[in-house]
C-alpha cells in the first residue's frame, strides 16, 4: 500500500521514541519505498529530531499549531499517539490511523482507548518494537471499519460507551 503523505503526531506532550523511530534511516527508506513524498512531524514538547534525509522526502517538522486539521485532511496515513483528540479527529476525517502506544506513560488511559478502538475495528495499534515491521509489511487498511459519523454529543456518548462509562 502506498502512502504519499504521512502525518505523524504526538499531541502536546513528548513522545520522542515515536519520532526517533519514524525518522530513522530504516523507516525513511521504507516510507520512500511506499511512495511517500511528504512526511510531516508534529513533535509537541519533544526534542527536535536530527534527520538525515537521504531519500528525498519532503519533511516538515513543527511543535504545535492552533489546528492540525489541514495535516489530517491531507494525510494518506496518520501515525500517532492514542490521545482522544488525535484519534477522534483522524477517524472523523475518515483517515487510516496507526496508533503507537506510549509505553512510558504511567496509568496509561491512552492504552485503554486504543485497545477499544482496535477491538471495534477502527484503528491499527503498534508498540515501539512493531513500527518498522508494520511499515515494511503490506498491512491492509481496507479491513478497518469506518468510524460512525455524528455530532459531538454522539461522539462523547460513543467514547463513554467504549470506555465502559455508559450512563
Cell numbers given for 131: 513500527
**Global pTM value:** 0.85
Q: What is the CA radius of gyration of the chain?
A: 15
Domains of the chain (ranges plus CATH)?
5-162 (3.40.50.2000)
| pLDDT single digits (tens) 59-113 | 999 999 989 999 999 999 999 988 888 888 999 898 989 999 887 765 566 778 8
Instruction: Look at residue 21 in the predicted model and tell me its pLDDT.
Output: 96
Q: How confident is the model at residue 153 (pLDDT cuts 50, 70, 90)?
A: low
Percent of the chain with pLDDT over 90: 47
Mean pLDDT, the chain, as a whole number? Answer: 86
Instruction: Look at residue 149 in the predicted model and tell me its pLDDT.
Output: 73
Q: How confident is the model at residue 3 (pLDDT cuts 50, 70, 90)?
A: confident
Q: Which residue has the cell 511543535?
A: 63
Instruction: Look at residue 161 in the predicted model and tell me its pLDDT.
Output: 72
Q: Would the pLDDT of 123 be above 80?
A: yes
Q: How confident is the model at residue 140 (pLDDT cuts 50, 70, 90)?
A: low
Instruction: Look at residue 147 in the predicted model and tell me its pLDDT.
Output: 83
Instruction: Look at residues 102, 72, 62, 92 and name the one whose alpha carbon lies nearest to residue 6.
Output: 72
| pLDDT single digits (tens) 5-18 | 999 999 888 899 99
Least confident range from 27-41, 84-98, 140-154: namely 140-154
Residue 95, by phi and psi: left (phi above 0), alpha (psi -120 to 50) or beta?
beta
Amino acid at each position: 500500500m502506498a502512502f504519499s503523505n504521512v502525518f505523524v503526531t504526538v499531541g502536546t506532550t513528548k513522545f520522542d521514541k515515536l519520532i526517533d523511530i519514524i525518522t530513522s534511516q530504516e523507516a525513511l527508506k521504507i516510507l520512500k519505498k511506499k511512495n511517500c513524498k511528504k512526511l510531516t512531524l508534529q513533535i509537541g514538547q519533544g526534542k527536535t529530531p536530527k534527520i538525515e534525509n537521504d531519500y528525498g522526502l519532503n519533511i516538515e517538522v513543527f511543535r504545535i499549531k492552533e489546528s492540525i486539521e489541514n495535516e489530517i485532511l491531507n494525510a494518506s496515513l496518520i501515525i500517532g499517539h492514542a490521545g482522544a483528540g488525535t484519534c477522534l479527529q483522524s477517524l472523523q476525517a475518515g483517515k487510516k490511523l496507526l496508533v503507537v502506544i506510549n509505553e512510558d506513560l504511567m496509568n496509561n488511559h491512552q492504552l485503554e482507548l486504543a485497545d477499544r478502538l482496535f477491538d471495534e475495528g477502527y484503528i491499527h495499534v503498534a508498540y515501539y518494537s512493531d513500527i518498522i515491521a508494520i511499515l515494511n509489511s503490506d498491512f491492509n487498511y481496507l479491513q478497518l471499519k469506518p468510524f460512525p459519523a455524528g455530532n459531538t454529543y454522539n461522539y462523547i456518548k460513543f467514547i463513554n460507551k467504549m470506555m465502559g462509562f455508559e450512563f
